Amino acid sequence: MRKLVLALGVSTAGFAASTLYFWRELQVERSTRQLVASTPAMIGDSGTPAQPSPAPGNSAAMNQPARVPVARTRPDAAVDGTDTEAEARARSLAHMRAVLEDPLEREAAMRASRDGYRSSFPRLAEHLGITEDQYTRLVDQLAEHQMHWAERRYRCLLEPGCDEMTAMKGIGAERERELTDILGPEKYQQFNEYLDNQQERRAVVRLRGELPDALRMTDVQAERLIAALGEERRHTLKAWEQRGAVPESINSEYGELYHSSLAQDFEQRVAEATELLRRQHDRAAQVLSAGQLEVFDERQAAALAQASRMWQLPAQEGNTQ
């Protein structure tokens, strides 16, 4: 899927904090400085560097391994931008070989992955209603899958002419089987939704931070709101896809705003984004108090205003040429 990402004062790598809400952005920064310094697509990407991320709601995105920090093997091995492609490839292979073939480095990487997943999913067991044993097995399996992903790519890089997409074929289905064995089909689906709702989780975290004490949002309200907002986003994106359109998004400091690829001009984009916001408002009204909903609506309006200014830029630039 294509995805238009225009950063508006929000760092894609610095949302920080040890919660799932910042799962994707936090791991990008860490992973690119560690095991895969010169090839950041090794862990957590689709196998080809610098491609846009699928819009949330796309089932293909659920089969990609999480970007979880792994052990740093060579502190002096950062690429300074002067390497040739061959040198960068050789450096990357050296990093991979150190982790995958040295038992001590490998175990350090596995510990880092497990710790990363635990810090990213601090309340996952409670959210899914699973036992501590299931949670531990889930974290262990995710770390194993991460290593398996790295091993496949390493072998592909060693083989001349290897196509990475072909080499990675089936790894998503393998992950699904492994996690379903641990969680069961229903809870596995809930886990995927938990991951897919990351942008809604970030938005709700920020909303809660802006609410005064008198309007404090409970944990139950927060989870209900996250689920409702994510459900409406997926419903809208699926409807667009059924019409043959591709969902596209623009990122603002208040969250992501969506429109379909069929919306070619400013007015159409605003109309589609506004309709999604209206649906989300209606769902939020079923969860929030009047005072909380007022703050929620202010944030949604600010997000639309920022996105609208960005959508207008291409037209304005075209008129000046």
Tell me the two tokens of residue 286. Answer: 């079923």
Per residue in 17-63, pLDDT (tens digit) is 222 322 333 333 333 333 333 333 333 333 333 333 334 444 444 44
Is residue 208 situated within a structural domain? yes
Per residue in 106-141, pLDDT (tens digit) is 888 899 989 988 888 878 898 899 999 999 999 999
Cβ within 8 Å of residue 318, ≥6 positions away = none
Q: CA 277, CA 258: separation in Å to the nearest integer?
A: 9
Note whether 289 and 221 are same-domain residues.
Answer: yes
Kind and range of the H or E run holding 53: none
Is residue 15 situated within a structural domain? no
Distance separating the N- and C-terminal Cα atoms of the chain: 30
- Grade residue 82 by pLDDT with cuts at 50, 70 and 90: low
Tell me the two tokens of residue 293. Answer: 């909903």
Kind and range of the H or E run holding 177: helix 171-183
Whether the CA torsion 37, 38, 42, 45 is positive or negative: it is positive
Question: Could you give the C-alpha distances from 314 to 7, 29, 194, in angstroms and in order?
Answer: 15, 30, 35
313 or 134, which is more confident: 134
Is residue 21 situated within a structural domain? no
Is the whole model's pTM more than 0.85, yes or no? no
Note whether 93 and 116 are same-domain residues.
Answer: yes
Q: CA 314, CA 320: separation in Å to the nearest integer?
A: 10
Q: Which amino acid is at 55?
A: A
- Grade residue 79 by pLDDT with cuts at 50, 70 and 90: very low
Note whether 293 and 211 are same-domain residues.
Answer: yes
Q: Nearest CA to 60 among 42, 47, 41, 69?
A: 47
Per residue in 204-228, pLDDT (tens digit) is 999 999 999 999 999 999 999 999 9
Is residue 140 situated within a structural domain? yes
Note whether 187 and 249 are same-domain residues.
Answer: no
Is residue 22 situated within a structural domain? no
Q: CA 229, CA 203: separation in Å to the nearest integer?
A: 10
Note whether 217 and 134 are same-domain residues.
Answer: no
Boundary of a domain, candidates 195, 226, 246:
195
Is residue 267 situated within a structural domain? yes
Q: Is 263 helix (H, G, I), strand (E, B) or coil?
A: coil
> Are 280 and 229 a contacting pair, CB within 8 Å?
yes
In 211-289, which ranges are continuous DSSP H helix? 219-242, 266-284
Per residue in 7-20, pLDDT (tens digit) is 222 222 222 222 23
Note whether 47 and 65 are same-domain residues.
Answer: yes
Q: CA 292, CA 210: separation in Å to the nearest integer?
A: 10
Boundary of a domain, candidates 171, 195, 219:
195
Residue 235 has pLDDT above 90, yes or no: yes
**What pLDDT was estimated at residue 13?**
25
Note whether 241 and 292 are same-domain residues.
Answer: yes
- Grade residue 280 by pLDDT with cuts at 50, 70 and 90: very high
Boundary of a domain, candidates 195, 215, 232:
195
Q: CA 228, CA 200: separation in Å to the nearest integer?
A: 9
Note whether 185 and 247 are same-domain residues.
Answer: no
Q: CA 203, CA 200: separation in Å to the nearest integer?
A: 5
Is residue 20 situated within a structural domain? no
Cβ within 8 Å of residue 180, ≥6 positions away = 188
Q: What residue numbers bound the domain in which 109 lies?
A: 35-195
Long-range pairs of 46-49 with CB within 8 A, sequence gap ≥ 24: 46/165, 46/168, 47/153, 47/164, 47/165, 47/167, 47/168, 48/164, 48/165
Note whether 228 and 151 are same-domain residues.
Answer: no
Note whether 176 and 228 are same-domain residues.
Answer: no
Adjacent-strand bridge partners of 255: 252
Note whether 125 and 97 are same-domain residues.
Answer: yes
Residue tagged 């990008």 (tokens): 28
Is residue 253 situated within a structural domain? yes
Q: How many domains is the chain partitioned into structurally?
A: 2
Cβ within 8 Å of residue 81, ≥6 positions away = none
- Grade residue 317 by pLDDT with cuts at 50, 70 and 90: low
Note whether 153 and 92 are same-domain residues.
Answer: yes
- Grade residue 71 by pLDDT with cuts at 50, 70 and 90: very low
